[in-house]
Structure 1
Amino acid sequence: MTWAAIGAYAVYLLVAFVARTVIQVRRTGDSGFRGLGGRVGSVEWSAGILFAVALVVGFAAPVAGLFGLPPIARFDHLGLNVVGLLIAAGGIALTLAAQLRMGSEWRIGVDVTEQTSLVTDGLFRFVRNPIFTAMSLTALGLTLMVPNAVAVAGLACLVAALQLQVRVVEEPYLRALHGPEYAHYEASTGRFLPGIGKSAGARGRVAA
């Protein structure tokens, strides 16, 4: 299953980053990459660094397995490995579907001076951040495929990075840019899971 995890991770990188960037450049002439935000050491900057670390550690996990790092015994079962493969495959497919639905609005990172449209249909009807949900599913699946300590650390880094990116960087930007439209969306749609993470504050802003 270790080699399968390496293959799945390679497909994930190609689909979620390389292919999507190529599509964006062909459609718009712009890569959509906005890089790290915030000053060095800030929460925004830390979110970007954690995300980069998660990508590196995620690949390092199956490689460490090849070099003899043992899996965590309680999770080292073929059945869980297969479930992980299925979850990872589903996560990759959902990542691409959500990215494509964003169309020309797709970005990696945030430029606070930029005007973008708010996407609320497709997978975005169910959760506000379906790309990040799908990425988390992919990482969970890969961790179950090669359940060693490095994989768990990579999953933890990714979850922390996405939480920081959404809560500290993207949501404030979208609130400022889209005002009542985003407040309504935020009050009615879960953050990462359907129905979970709706904003009570946003409901108040909508009512006002």
Structure 2
Amino acid sequence: MSAALFGKICWVLLVAGWYVIRYPFERRAKRRRVQKTARGRAETVRMLISLSGLGILPGIFVATGFPRFATYSPSPVQTGLGVAAMIAALVLFRLTHKALGRMWSVSLDIREKHELVTSGIYRQVRHPMYTAFWTMALAQALLLPNLVAGLAGLVGFGTLYFLRVGPEEAMMEETFGQAYRDYRARTARLVPGIY
């Protein structure tokens, strides 16, 4: 099996793993009433851009090979690094969902009886879910040997991240006040000790 085909298979497994991890939390979240939301047109656009980069464009490439002009032959080392990033992304997804439990939301929502989660993986990082998505986008870039489809995840998710993290932190500060300011002061945004 070629490194390119193996990388495509691994990308499909990454997306399937992400869905398997997320699905039960999404079902539970629908049962809890949203008390406050920042959803709207801007959030929908951000989510669509991210979905295009992490799902639609790479899915088209895996299914059809389009766009062929941007395809190259990957090295086994590149694919191996992609598999390592894939595993790390799925582990991070699982840890974040487990720590959030009932507080999980796909968007900028404050649920009824919402609590500030500062345990588990959230003890050191405020946004480990975003860390997981950055790692997923990196895995995609390494696993899919196409300059458009492979890099689309970094661009798509990067757009969502940079346009959303500020409003999200403002919403958390407005909801939890000093508790969130203290939490923000002692944690990194994405990577402990770095950022």
Identity of aligned residues (%): 22
Tell whether the 8 Å contact from 1:48 to 1:165 is kept in structure 2 after alignment. no
Give the Cα–Cα distance (whole angstroms) in 1 for the partners of residues 60 and 25 of structure 2: 23
Residue identity opposite 1:119 in structure 2: V
5+ residue gaps, structure 1: 198-208
Q: TM-score, normalised on structure 2? A: 0.81
Aligned partner (choices 130, 146, 152) of residue 132 of structure 1: 130
Alignment of 1:2-151 (within 5 A): 2-15=8-21, 17-22=22-27, 24=28, 29-30=31-32, 37-38=39-40, 40=41, 42=42, 44-54=43-53, 55-65=55-65, 68=68, 70-72=70-72, 76-111=74-109, 116-148=114-146, 149-151=148-150
Tell whether the 8 Å contact from 2:125 to 2:188 is kept in structure 1 after alignment. yes
5+ residue gaps, structure 2: 1-5
Q: Secondary structure at the match of 2:65?
A: helix
Instruction: Give how far 1:70 is off.
Output: 4.8
Residues 171 and 153 of structure 1: CA distance in aligned 2, closer, same or farther (over 3 Å): same
Residue identity opposite 1:186 in structure 2: R
Residues 183 and 109 of structure 1: CA distance in aligned 2, closer, same or farther (over 3 Å): same
Residues 66 and 58 of structure 1: CA distance in aligned 2, closer, same or farther (over 3 Å): closer
Structure showing greater relative contact order (alpha-carbon pairs closer than 8 Å, 6 or more residues apart):
2
Residue identity opposite 2:26 in structure 1: T
Give the Cα–Cα distance (whole angstroms) in 1 for the partners of residues 60 and 153 of structure 2: 9
RMSD: 2.8
Residue identity opposite 1:18 in structure 2: Y
Tell whether the 8 Å contact from 1:36 to 1:45 is kept in structure 2 after alignment. no
Q: Secondary structure at the match of 2:109?
A: coil
